[in-house]
Amino acid sequence: MAVQTPRALVSCASLLWLARAAGGIPFPAQRDLLMRQEVSRQMGGGVTLTAAEQKLDADLRRLKEREMSAARFPPALHFFKARPLIQQSPVFKLLQKMPKGAALHVHTSSLVGVEWLVKNVTYRPHCHICFTWDNSVRFLFSERRPFPRWDCFYWQLLGTLRARIGDTSGFDNSLMQHLTLFTEDPDGEYPSQEVVWEKFEKVFIAAAGLITHAPVLRDYFYRGLEELLQDNVMYLELRSGLSKTYELDGTVHDTAWTLRTFQEVTRKFVSDHPDFLGARVIFSVHRALSVSEVKAAVKEAIQLQTDFPDVVAGFDMVGREDGGRSLWFFRDALSLPAELGVTLPYFFHAGETGDDDGTDVDQNVLDALLFNTTRIGHGYALAHHPLAKELSRKRNVAVELCPISNQVLRLVSDLRNHPAAVLMSEGHPMVISSDDPSLFGTTGLSYDFYEAFVGIGGLKANLGTLKELALNSIRFSSLPPHLKDKGLVMWQKKWDAFIFHHS
Ligand SMILES: *[C@@H]1O[C@H](CO)[C@@H](O)[C@H](O)[C@H]1NC(C)=O
Ligand SMILES: *[C@@H]1O[C@H](CO)[C@@H](O)[C@H](O)[C@H]1NC(C)=O
Ligand SMILES: [Zn+2]
């Protein structure tokens, strides 16, 4: 708060001065000063732009103004309807080229676009498919026809089925529908949070059989990093349950195998693409587990962190917060590291909730901070928690803002009304991420940057805002200081090239 005192004094003095001038029109110079002081508090308000940057900033502002006056303003529409408009947007095209730094909130199961899963993975030999009674789908790679299971009793070779159906593109499209939430009619298909979350969880189960096949997983990670780099993202922190992977003969690998594979693929990718910084994992388990299961997971995370210190960033809990178990419910498990005297950084999802003020789940943001969370996933509810907000700011605990996710999962419909608008105008520590790109039909970070920059930030958000958001993604990453420095140098080089290209 010490930081704010001088500002507060200045403002009060200015207001008194205004009051004295109140007999007539307030002094324009004083008005300018106040406005500049206010702008300086916003995200990026402290960034000084070079002449070339100022020119790009002016261009961006003009483009943004044009988009805001169009009949259909993308951030006001559901993303599934806005996507074709955004793809045409000159602001979006610039954002695609802009070096955006790091993606700090992405989940494994939705890292890679469904197009690749269907057009590449389901075309591989030995892929079996089965339709469940509730019209969901399961995949399994197996040398022999898989045995019937509780949820699936009729397995067939996917290639045979595809050949029999004949309409390959129609069939492939229907498979894609099982692996994404994307649809032309979001309001009709997902009338409520309950319905959209139900489909959300179904998609994860459907994709699992494809992704957790060991040879696929390697290609999947590699492809995921490729999609990020193509969108000018240079580093990833992936939330992953590190599911057990399986071979064609049914052999199952453990968690450490999955982590080692991730490490190997990342190293290969970085050696193939030296302008990519790397990737780490935040070990994540579902909040549907019991306290003792989460205890076991926390212990496992501590072990994995010891065995793979370069790769494991920390621990998180995933799954819908509303109707789910609160962080406080798991306090005996989450306090384990402190009791054992070890450090396990937390990266909690918290406050991914709307109007449930006062419930246990609504306390998740404060509890996340009590457990010393390093960042807050979403923090949509933070605006309603003044103390949590203050603590998060004071301790530099960044909010991971995922605008499209919040809209698709029905926390907000018109993104101009997203509560993060206030956080942005206050310069609250924040990064932008995509959460579940393949489920929402996005790739990389550009779509979410667009919504944050054009919709949530409004006309006030400028090139300084974008620059600070990109820099934040490296500053607030889990990387050790020397790698942050390396990342910042790499980013600056890309940024200079980006600015040069547009001047
Ligand atoms: C599938 O992806 C792999 C790895 O990215 C690639 O080597 C292979 O050629 C692709 N196959 C098809 C059919 O696209
Ligand atoms: C959080 O950090 C504080 C200060 O470092 C420490 O005293 C406390 O034990 C930590 N709490 C947990 C749950 O790790
Ligand atoms: Zn998430």
- Sign for the CA dihedral angle at 275, 240, 92, 113 comes to positive
Lowest mean pLDDT among 18-32, 273-287, 436-450: 18-32
Residues 101 and 149 in one domain: no
Query: Domain containing 471: what range?
Result: 75-113+221-502
Please give the tally of structural domains in the chain: 2
- Closest-CA residue, ligand 2 atom 2, reads 372
**246 and 136 fall within a common domain:** no
- The CATH number that applies at residue 237 is 3.20.20.140
pLDDT given at position 153: 87
The β-bridge relationship of strands 430-432 and 233-240 is unpaired
Task: Name the residue among 426, 331, 446, 430 with its Cα closest to residue 379.
Answer: 430
* C-alpha of residue 488 to centroid of ligand 2, in Å: 29
Quick one: pLDDT at residue 15? Answer: 54
Provide mean pLDDT across the span 192-196: 91
In the predicted model, is pLDDT for residue 359 greater than 90? no
Residue 8: inside a domain = no
Local structure of residue 111 (DSSP, 8 states)? S
Q: Are residues 93 and 149 in the same domain?
A: no
Q: Which of residues 152, 181, 197 is at a domain's end? A: 197
Establish if 129 belongs to a structural domain.
yes
The preferred substitution site among 344, 367, 372 for testing ligand 2, maximizing ligand atoms within 8 Å of CB, is 372
Flag whether 303 is in a domain.
Answer: yes
Residue 368 has pLDDT above 80, yes or no: yes
Q: Which of 271-285, 357-371, 489-503 is predicted least confidently?
A: 357-371
Is the distance from CB of 400 to CB of 376 less than 8 angstroms?
yes
Does one domain contain both 191 and 251? Answer: no
- Provide the terminal-to-terminal Cα distance of the chain, rounded to the nearest Å: 40
Is residue 438 a part of any domain in this protein? yes
Rg over alpha carbons for the chain, rounded to the nearest Å, is 24
pLDDT at residue 16 greater than cutoff 80 = no
Give nearest CA residue, ligand 1 atom 4: 219
**pTM of this prediction?**
0.94
Give residue 322's pLDDT: 82
Within-domain flag for 47: no
Average pLDDT for 333-362: 87
Phi, psi of 222 (to 5 degrees): -60, -45
Residues 415 and 491 in one domain: yes
Confidence at residue 151, expressed as pLDDT on a 0 to 100 scale: 82
Report the candidate in 261, 41, 294, 247 with the shortest Cα–Cα distance to residue 126.
Answer: 247
Only one residue has tokens 């994860």, namely: 204
Q: Given this model, what pLDDT does residue 205 score? A: 92
Mean pLDDT estimate for the chain: 93
Are 140 and 158 members of one domain?
Answer: yes
**Are residues 261 and 369 part of one domain?**
yes
For the cut 50, the answer to whether the pLDDT of residue 159 exceeds it is: yes
Q: What is the pLDDT of residue 5?
A: 39
14 pLDDT tier (thresholds 50, 70, 90): low
- Overall size of the chain counted in residues: 503
Same domain, yes or no, for 105 and 134?
no
For the stretch 55-75, pLDDT in tens is: 999 999 999 999 999 999 999
Same domain, 187 and 254: no
411 with 463, same domain?
A: yes
- Ligand 2 site residues (CB inside 6 A) read 335, 338, 371-372
Active-site residue, from 78, 105, 378, 428? 378
Determine which helix (DSSP H) or strand (DSSP E) holds 82, and give its type and residue range.
helix 79-88
pLDDT of residue 299: 98
Nearest to 196 by CA among 404, 433, 47: 404
Tokens at 141, concatenated? 């790679």
Task: Let me know if residue 106 belongs to a domain.
Answer: yes
Regarding whether 190 and 323 lie in a shared domain, the answer is: no
Of 141, 164, 197, the residue at which a domain comes to its end is 197
Please compute the mean of the pLDDT values over residues 147-172 and round it to a whole number: 93
The pLDDT of residue 13 is above 80: no
What is residue 149's predicted lDDT score, i.e. its pLDDT?
A: 85
Least confident window among 149-158, 296-305, 426-435? 149-158
What is the band of 168 on the pLDDT scale with cuts at 50, 70, 90? very high
16 is a domain residue: no
Residue 264 pLDDT > 60: yes
Q: Quick check: 355 pLDDT over 80?
A: no
> In this predicted structure, what is the pLDDT of residue 21?
55
- For residue 25, what pLDDT is reported? 85
In this structure, the answer to whether residues 435 and 476 fall within a common structural domain is: yes
Mean pLDDT computed over 167-186: 96
Does a structural domain hold residue 63?
no
* 352 part of the active site: yes
Give the ligand 2 atom nearest the CA of 337.
14
